Chain A
Amino acid sequence: MNNKTCPTIVRILAVLLAGIFITTSHARTWTSTDGKSMQAIFLGIEGDNFRFKMRDGNQIVVPSDRFIKADREAAERLDLIGDDSFTKASARQIDTLLAGNLKEAGFSSFNEPLPDDLFVRRVYLDIIGRIPTKEEFLEFAESARPDKREALIDDLLLSPGYASHMFNYFADMYRLNASEAFVNGIRMDPYIQWWRDQLRANRPYHEMVTDMLTATGNVGQNPASGFLLRDTGMEFDAFANFGQTMLGIDISCAQCHDHPFDEWTQGDFYDMAAFFGNTQRSLGYRPAAAMMGGGMIEMPDAPEGWKKQFENYAVEEHGIVLRDQSDRQFRYFVQALGWNISDNETLETVLPHDFRGSGGKPNEVARPKTLIGNAAKVGGKTRREAVAEWLTDRDNPRFALVIANRMWDRAFGRPLVGPVTDFADSSIRGAAQPETLQFVTREMQRVNYDLREFMRILYNTRAYQSIATEEEPDWGSDYAFQGPVLRRMRAEQAWDSMMLLQHGKEIDEKSGADGSFYKAVLDIDFNTMSNDEVWDHFQAWKMASGRRMGNAVLASEGSMTPTVIDDNDLRASELAQPYTNASMLDTFGQSDRVITDDHNYDGSVPQVLALMNGNVTERLTGLSSKVVEDMEEYDGPDDKVRGVFFTLLNRFPTKDELSLGTEMIEDFGDDGISDLAWALMNSPEFLFIQ
């Protein structure tokens, strides 16, 4: 197998090496008030000065007041997010590569450039996951700044909505679900919170993946261990999910037989799975039968017998009755503490007794071996460390390609190679835009898996800033990316936009579910903590028990008093994960986070009934709604019509629309405003991102 895949990798590497090197010659031009200019990379603001790197590598410091206003504004933005010289050079390179193929595909150029109003709605939805407010829309529409598009992209990438919207994507991809695993007594809140925190900090993606793959301990000690604990009892499914998310290969069928279409054998499946073969998820819980081996170990960092010892203490000191139903929270607490990830050398992956494929024999012990690419270096580290190192190694471009392709799909509505969870090497070879695929793969590595910077590149391309392709391309076709495709909002985008319409933009700052409470409660070191201290943690646990999953929050840093948020008017990322309580989120197809990438974009009759007659619609468009009240500031009916359009569709009404709307408001007053708002919410345009 490795022999078969090697040529592809060699070819990709060859193209990458021969690709365009972005250098300081792409640096942006800075202009002084006296009309002089220079090309330089901006390094940051230092007091009243700007620091630059020149083409020759030397650094210079220049007083900020020497520059024209536009450059001073740019400096403030770039100081926060970093110089954009490479970003723009990279975006131009993508445009060049795509444009080269557009002609071949029969297009003279990209779609028409996106007008300002469509641009502002799209980037708000794409980057921060909600529509803009009327004020945000007008501010952009009226701005005369020459760099207003790049500035808005950067501002949005730096705003809290960016991480919120990114979280929704990864929550779907990695199936972040607070209640699923709790069936086994595993508390997932700290892991889900870890995801929020990583995205807010814009942590490099390969580091996050490494953390998830190599974590040890329980979710309190190490929240990233939630990734492996998530599928406790279903170890092979966990491995199949690893394949789909991180390798872009669906090998789940090879669990039972040779892969019918691809090159993998059943033996390959178990050999690759063996990298997780001595991963123990436990305490006192046996892994799936086929993974079974020698003796189980307890929590690796806890003293032997910690559980019995703590239980005895609780019985003696606090009168806990271990089997009593009224003390069941004590059981759950100890159980949750015990769920941890460790490496147990005595465990092995064993081929099933009814193994019938090739590449192995029934009941044989599988030896860890990579499915594609180079062999993993196994010496001196755990198997999971070895597989994480192999996966994220620069010589394994597949990992960078998988995440670059997914991020591309987020921006354009179509991946460069698909489906994103499962593509063979032959698909990479046969991709419609092989040079672009290779280039963005290299760019993902160049930006060191900084997803925010990667998205910044894509949003700055001319290809992205084109009007959406008006005719739906076939799924099987080789799409030329003359522009993004039309997409329906994700359920979370619809929800967050409705929250915005109801509450305004402070919704971005409002926090809800916070797993740091359970992280604090479960972060226990039996080597250093006294039983009394652990007992205090249990008291905190008990206070939060019975609250809805994921909604108990930490009142303040270091506190273990849970505060329960009963307010569900929060952005989707701040709600219990997933939030399924008969909500619009569910109606609009939010994934229930059982399997990967399970969001559904279809319409349905119940969905439109909810839009037509639901409580939310009445709250958003009724007489006492924010949109109707906001129109008081406008005098004439035509301005009110414009205001309603700015609020809901973020565009100017056409002439026809203006006269229709004006008529409604003239005839029916505030009822007419309410009717118009209802109509805009109930037109397909509201739900689509063009």
Chain B
Amino acid sequence: MDHIASLAGKDSLSRRYFMEMSAKLSLGVGLTVPFLPRQLKAQETGKAKNLIYIYLSGGMTHLDTFDPKRGDVMGNTETIDTVVDNMKMGQHLSGLAQQADKLAVINSMFSTNGAHEQGQYIMRTGYEKRATIVHPTIGPWAERLLGKKNEVLPDSVLIGQSTSNAGFMDPSLSPLPIANPSGGVPNTELIVEGDRFSRRMEMAQKLGNQFTEKFKYSGPDSYVEYYKQANQLLNSDELSAFDISNESNAADYGTGRLGQGCLLARKLVESGVRVVEVVSGGWDMHVDVDGSTATRIPEMDKAVTTLLKDLESRGLLDSTLVAIGTEFGRTPDINMNSGRDHYPAAYSCVLAGGGIKGGTVYGETDGQGKKVKTNPVTPEDFIATIGHGMGLNLEETIYSPTQRPFTFGDKGKPVTELFG
């Protein structure tokens, strides 16, 4: 057994050994499934290498954002022009209005799920929620279909939630959850430092050795391995990819969770993480829609505007697909509490970067934003469109452990017209 110093000190490891070890590092890559680097397939379809999926939980009001209309249904929200002639927005999206030439807005989303849970589930997995199986989100799917992208960092990260899973896929594909974007990877601050930490690890390893020598099982062995990996992670430079405390443009993103989440997403994508999901709540505006939109929408506007500009200036926009999704829209009729209720019959989602043809408005609703008139897009279609943009093979069948067949996006039809 290596002495702790050789584990903890990166210097004593050859670069090659370090890379090999890091290949399994993971924050999740399990030992039960051997790490099989699959070469990236020639990307027949999309050119996006990365995805930042901003998920607005609660149901983003379509009328006050990307699908403004005239008349009573608008309440007190005014419509503004954008740099694209046929694209209008609600008044709070003043930043994105200037970035409209980067956006493809889908105004013809519709869903049959009027409850948050089911609606979010299908918008994040591409599958209807069932009681006999759990479907993976986009991150695990991409890793499963394309192979692991980065050798050191996890392939996917979920910002804004404290738990994650890989559905029916191997748990090692689970996105790394980061509940608080400013908090970094949980539990990476040592309780004690230096010699004292070494002393602790050394004792633990001696005990561990006895145990693993006695029991020839993969379980205890895997723990020994995870301790090695954890120690490596604690000493690796890659950990700093999760630290946004020194980013010079942090304020431009906004100080809230959504803004900081987008900043962290940018940094992670830049460092080599493939899929980052940023989940942000506060969109369930049953009461006082004016008050809620006046805070939520500018926050989102600032975060996404800065994200697009930042990605562009770093040369990452072409290779990074940015998506804004939500479970449904909100009722065109304003309720007696001056709020808007759930409205799955028509809503809006947005795509940008990653080969998206900017300045596109796809699909339309009627004059009151109540019904989809042209080019309806289902949640499955939307997820399939993201998959298409990322070059995922939408035909490839993956079997669950119970031998049920699944494909990315549940046979949804990608909206290929959105890509340039």
A241 to B171, CA, bound (A): 22
* Chain B contacts for A661, CB-based, 8 A: 203
A241 to B131, CA, bound (A): 8
* Chain A contacts for B218, CB-based, 8 A: 472
CB neighbors of A among B70-120 (8 A): 115-118
A363 nearest CB across to chain B (Å): 21
With A602-B32, A605-B25, A679-B204 already in contact, the answer to whether A688 and B165 are too (CB < 8 A) is no
Asked whether any CB of chain B lies closer than 8 Å to the CB of A500, the reply is no
Asked whether any CB of chain B lies closer than 8 Å to the CB of A486, the reply is yes
| A470 in complex: contacting residue of B31, B200, B215, B339, CB < 8 Å | B215
Asked whether any CB of chain A lies closer than 8 Å to the CB of B314, the reply is no
Asked whether any CB of chain B lies closer than 8 Å to the CB of A606, the reply is yes
Closest to A606 in B: B27
Asked whether any CB of chain B lies closer than 8 Å to the CB of A680, the reply is yes
Cβ-defined contact, B230 with A675, below 8 A: no
Cβ-defined contact, B131 with A595, below 8 A: yes
Q: Contact mask A555-598 → B, CB, 8 Å, 1/0?
A: 00000000000000000000000001110001001001011101
Cβ-defined contact, A605 with B208, below 8 A: no
Stretch at the interface among B185-193, B252-260, B303-311, B370-378: B185-193
B389 nearest CB across to chain A (Å): 29
Cβ-defined contact, A323 with B335, below 8 A: yes
Q: Contact mask B402-415 → A, CB, 8 Å, 1/0?
A: 11100000000000
Closest to A653 in B: B207
* Chain B contacts for A608, CB-based, 8 A: 223, 226-227, 230
Closest to A185 in B: B115
B137 nearest CB across to chain A (Å): 14
Cβ-defined contact, A690 with B215, below 8 A: yes
CB neighbors of A among B289-347 (8 A): 335-337, 339
* Chain A contacts for B214, CB-based, 8 A: 470
Q: Contact mask A658-690 → B, CB, 8 Å, 1/0?
A: 001100100000010001101110111101101
Cβ-defined contact, B163 with A586, below 8 A: yes
* Chain A contacts for B416, CB-based, 8 A: none
With A238-B131, A595-B134 already in contact, the answer to whether A183 and B207 are too (CB < 8 A) is no
Stretch at the interface among A371-379, A452-460, A609-617: A609-617
* Chain B contacts for A688, CB-based, 8 A: 211, 215, 219-220
B45 nearest CB across to chain A (Å): 28
* Chain A contacts for B404, CB-based, 8 A: 252-253
| B26 in complex: contacting residue of A605, A612, A679, CB < 8 Å | A605
Asked whether any CB of chain B lies closer than 8 Å to the CB of A107, the reply is no
Cβ-defined contact, B215 with A486, below 8 A: yes
* Chain A contacts for B189, CB-based, 8 A: 613
A184 to B114, CA, bound (A): 11
| B28 in complex: contacting residue of A238, A581, A605, CB < 8 Å | A605
With A241-B131, A581-B162 already in contact, the answer to whether A183 and B191 are too (CB < 8 A) is no
With A321-B336, A325-B337, A617-B191 already in contact, the answer to whether A657 and B207 are too (CB < 8 A) is yes
Asked whether any CB of chain A lies closer than 8 Å to the CB of B17, the reply is no
Cβ-defined contact, A613 with B25, below 8 A: no
CB neighbors of B among A221-252 (8 A): 230-231, 234, 237-238, 240-241, 244, 250, 252
CB neighbors of A among B366-420 (8 A): 402-404
With A183-B116, A605-B226 already in contact, the answer to whether A250 and B402 are too (CB < 8 A) is yes
Closest to A614 in B: B187
A322 nearest CB across to chain B (Å): 10
A604 to B218, CA, bound (A): 13
* Chain A contacts for B25, CB-based, 8 A: 605
A617 to B30, CA, bound (A): 23
A486 to B199, CA, bound (A): 28
Asked whether any CB of chain B lies closer than 8 Å to the CB of A324, the reply is yes
Cβ-defined contact, A324 with B336, below 8 A: yes
* Chain B contacts for A605, CB-based, 8 A: 25-28, 226, 229-230, 233
Closest to A656 in B: B206
| A240 in complex: contacting residue of B132, B190, B220, CB < 8 Å | B132
Cβ-defined contact, B131 with A684, below 8 A: no
Asked whether any CB of chain A lies closer than 8 Å to the CB of B286, the reply is yes
Cβ-defined contact, B191 with A622, below 8 A: yes
Cβ-defined contact, A683 with B219, below 8 A: no
Asked whether any CB of chain B lies closer than 8 Å to the CB of A468, the reply is yes
Asked whether any CB of chain B lies closer than 8 Å to the CB of A471, the reply is yes
* Chain B contacts for A241, CB-based, 8 A: 131-132
Asked whether any CB of chain A lies closer than 8 Å to the CB of B123, the reply is no
Cβ-defined contact, A683 with B115, below 8 A: no
Asked whether any CB of chain A lies closer than 8 Å to the CB of B146, the reply is no
Cβ-defined contact, B171 with A613, below 8 A: no
Closest to B405 in A: A253
Q: Give the A-B pair count, Cβ closer than 8 A.
A: 197
Cβ-defined contact, B215 with A602, below 8 A: no
* Chain A contacts for B249, CB-based, 8 A: none
A323 to B199, CA, bound (A): 64
* Chain A contacts for B176, CB-based, 8 A: 606
Asked whether any CB of chain A lies closer than 8 Å to the CB of B216, the reply is yes
A641 to B216, CA, bound (A): 27
A603 to B174, CA, bound (A): 13
Asked whether any CB of chain B lies closer than 8 Å to the CB of A335, the reply is no
CB neighbors of A among B221-254 (8 A): 222-224, 226-227, 229-230, 233
Asked whether any CB of chain B lies closer than 8 Å to the CB of A601, the reply is yes
Cβ-defined contact, A183 with B118, below 8 A: yes
* Chain A contacts for B15, CB-based, 8 A: none
B380 nearest CB across to chain A (Å): 17
With A325-B337, A671-B196, A679-B203 already in contact, the answer to whether A603 and B223 are too (CB < 8 A) is yes
Q: Contact mask A81-113 → B, CB, 8 Å, 1/0?
A: 000000000000000000000000000000000
A621 to B62, CA, bound (A): 52
With A321-B336, A326-B337, A678-B200 already in contact, the answer to whether A604 and B28 are too (CB < 8 A) is yes
| B165 in complex: contacting residue of A237, A592, A678, CB < 8 Å | A592
Asked whether any CB of chain B lies closer than 8 Å to the CB of A260, the reply is yes
A252 to B133, CA, bound (A): 10
Asked whether any CB of chain A lies closer than 8 Å to the CB of B130, the reply is yes
Of the listed residues B32, B165, B207, B226, the one surrounded by the most CB atoms of chain A closer than 10 A to its CB is B207
| A600 in complex: contacting residue of B118, B171, B201, CB < 8 Å | B171
* Chain B contacts for A422, CB-based, 8 A: 402
* Chain A contacts for B31, CB-based, 8 A: 603
CB neighbors of B among A1-40 (8 A): none
A580 to B199, CA, bound (A): 33
B127 nearest CB across to chain A (Å): 13
B332 nearest CB across to chain A (Å): 16
A595 to B176, CA, bound (A): 22
Cβ-defined contact, A602 with B30, below 8 A: yes
With A602-B30, A684-B208 already in contact, the answer to whether A660 and B203 are too (CB < 8 A) is yes
A587 nearest CB across to chain B (Å): 9
* Chain A contacts for B215, CB-based, 8 A: 468, 470, 472, 486, 688, 690
Cβ-defined contact, B191 with A613, below 8 A: yes
* Chain A contacts for B196, CB-based, 8 A: 671, 675
A586 to B162, CA, bound (A): 9
Cβ-defined contact, B27 with A604, below 8 A: yes
Asked whether any CB of chain A lies closer than 8 Å to the CB of B212, the reply is yes
Asked whether any CB of chain B lies closer than 8 Å to the CB of A488, the reply is yes
Besides A472-B218, A688-B215, 8 other A-B contacts (C-beta < 8 A): A184-B115, A471-B216, A486-B220, A605-B230, A613-B191, A617-B191, A675-B200, A688-B211
Q: Which residues of A contact B (CB under 8 A)?
A: 175, 180, 183-184, 230-231, 234, 237-238, 240-241, 244, 250, 252-253, 260-261, 321, 323-326, 328, 422, 468, 470-472, 486, 488, 580-582, 586, 589, 592, 594-596, 598, 600-610, 612-614, 617-618, 622, 654, 656-657, 660-661, 664, 671, 675-676, 678-680, 682-685, 687-688, 690
27 residue pairs of the A-B complex, CB under 8 angstroms, read A183-B118, A230-B131, A234-B131, A250-B402, A252-B132, A252-B133, A252-B402, A260-B403, A324-B337, A422-B402, A470-B214, A472-B217, A581-B162, A582-B186, A589-B171, A592-B134, A592-B165, A602-B222, A603-B222, A604-B172, A612-B190, A613-B187, A617-B191, A664-B199, A675-B199, A679-B201, A685-B208
